[in-house]
A and B are shown apart, each in its own frame.
Chain A
């Protein structure tokens, strides 16, 4: 695959500045240009009334089938609460070594947990989640290094513990996977 860029597609209302604030770090981490754009989906089709959440598996499939291309890594960014049938919620998910992923900002704000709003923390969490899911699309698996962005996070506190960079080992793996991808 000859990768040209990474595309972030936002679904629903997103402040324009919010995406611009995370683009630089993504470009720096993966060394590919990042494009942002708005996408349109009838989200109600993916709503599960019993759980009052949106089906992450179905959304990932639709991103893969309708938005992903051979030359991009595509990440759908949502502002709704995501679930998968087996788990109560997810922050995001992606096809390992695939073309697409999804992430939600729904559970990333302090206000969601009754804590005072903090825009910096919020943006940092989005940045880490987006880089994490994109990392999976490049073939990276969860890392045991507590500060690596590929460390698995189940709570926002876990996201706060790590930084938004890949650790040395994951960075080396990423470079290897990209070079192998270019060869193939």
Chain B
């Protein structure tokens, strides 16, 4: 149901007040009238009106002066100024002082309807804006960040202290520990929260794609660049850019990134115009960047530029106390999303979960609970619903090469390094298999 709009008519002429009163009443609005500015102002102190329709020429305080006072009382008030003698100067002055519109008396009935319709639209937009802002604010305590353990409380304290600053942050932690959630929490609690947080998964993109993704490109910069495209740095203007898997970027991109971080300006691929953007950088990695710097794989200057603050998200095995809370949260989350009645978990099952090492961390636990709800009896999660024997999420494998290496190694071991049989199982020829063994430096276990 829509809210009933209230209108205050301020005019010294009784006939004008009566006319507008009758007109608006017939339209179903709540209408009140005041014969001068002082009465209108006192009415506004005790009552809220959505729209104020005021004559510009009134004895005592005129409409423009009243407009200024109304704006100090309520900044969002919609004031429409009416006058019998229109001059450009007064119209401009009224609009400069914050009037919503300016009309010359008498006006067409249709103009009046349009005026009020537009004002009503503005009111509903303002209200919608407020509601949306409240919703955004309510994200502040990101509800997915769960944990009462000391380790997690420490992370939350670090988020709180770093959020208000503009410092670059590196979030480290094993895969599946919730690094992106920590980044979101930092953004949501920062002064940049009403601007976008743009995420880039660096590991998923090749060097050229990542370059175009981060900096954008001009039309015709490369085959397939049919349109101009904004880059992620540009999109993150006034907000935050989250660079996930930062350790995977190439040396060339490291140089480019360092330059952008230092100057906060860049050029689109294929373009020549310098673009500036005000963004905050948050990075995440599951690798030890310091060791990478020592080995010369990651640039030292970039590392120090990014590593102003380091937040380490502990693996699940170091915060066993949080497992019951997390289990309860995931059960609630998936029961709701699957439209199932609330479920519980057997004590024995929970105990086993607390003993499980969870190499895939929270992501693995979450997947486990989701699966248990799907396959379970719909009332209680039992031990047999939990796939505790095998790891659901591969954690250490990052690249396709790693995956291939592991798989070939497993097959070779399975067939006792019989190359012919292994090649057949892998559906490749023997030469290819030998090449792969050389490439990955695979050797039979002693």
Seen from chain A, the residues whose Cβ lies within 8 Å of a Cβ on chain B are: 51, 57, 83-90, 93-96, 136, 141-142, 152, 154-155
- A57 and B15 contacting across the interface, CB-CB below 8 Å: yes
Known pairs A84-B22, A141-B25. 11 more at Cβ < 8 A? A86-B19, A86-B20, A89-B108, A90-B109, A95-B22, A96-B22, A136-B26, A141-B27, A141-B28, A154-B113, A155-B110
Determine the chain A residues whose CB is within 8 A of the CB of B19 once the complex forms: 57, 84-87
Seen from chain B, the residues whose Cβ lies within 8 Å of a Cβ on chain A are: 13, 15-16, 18-20, 22-23, 25-28, 82, 105-110, 112-113
- The answer to whether A96 and B25 touch (CB under 8 A), given A84-B15, A85-B105, is yes
Query: Taking chain B's interface residues, is the majority helix, strand, or loop, or is none over half, making it mixed?
Result: helix
Q: Which of B20, B23, B112 has the most CB of A within 10 A?
A: B23
- B113 and A152 contacting across the interface, CB-CB below 8 Å: yes
Complex: A136 Cα to B16 Cα, angstroms: 20
Query: Closest 10 A-B residue pairs measured CB to CB?
Result: A84-B19, A141-B28, A154-B110, A154-B109, A85-B15, A86-B19, A142-B27, A96-B25, A85-B16, A88-B106
Determine the chain A residues whose CB is within 8 A of the CB of B13 once the complex forms: 85
- The answer to whether A88 and B108 touch (CB under 8 A), given A141-B25, A142-B27, A154-B113, is yes
Determine the chain B residues whose CB is within 8 A of the CB of A85 once the complex forms: 13, 15-16, 19, 105-106
Determine the chain B residues whose CB is within 8 A of the CB of A51 once the complex forms: 106
- A141 and B26 contacting across the interface, CB-CB below 8 Å: yes
Can you name 14 A-B pairs with beta carbons within 8 Å?
A: A51-B106, A84-B106, A85-B19, A85-B105, A86-B20, A86-B107, A87-B19, A87-B106, A87-B107, A89-B109, A93-B26, A141-B27, A154-B108, A154-B110
B18 → A minimal CB distance (Å): 6
- A152 and B106 contacting across the interface, CB-CB below 8 Å: no
Determine the chain B residues whose CB is within 8 A of the CB of A96 once the complex forms: 22, 25-26
Complex: A87 Cα to B105 Cα, angstroms: 7
A96 → B minimal CB distance (Å): 5
- B108 and A87 contacting across the interface, CB-CB below 8 Å: yes
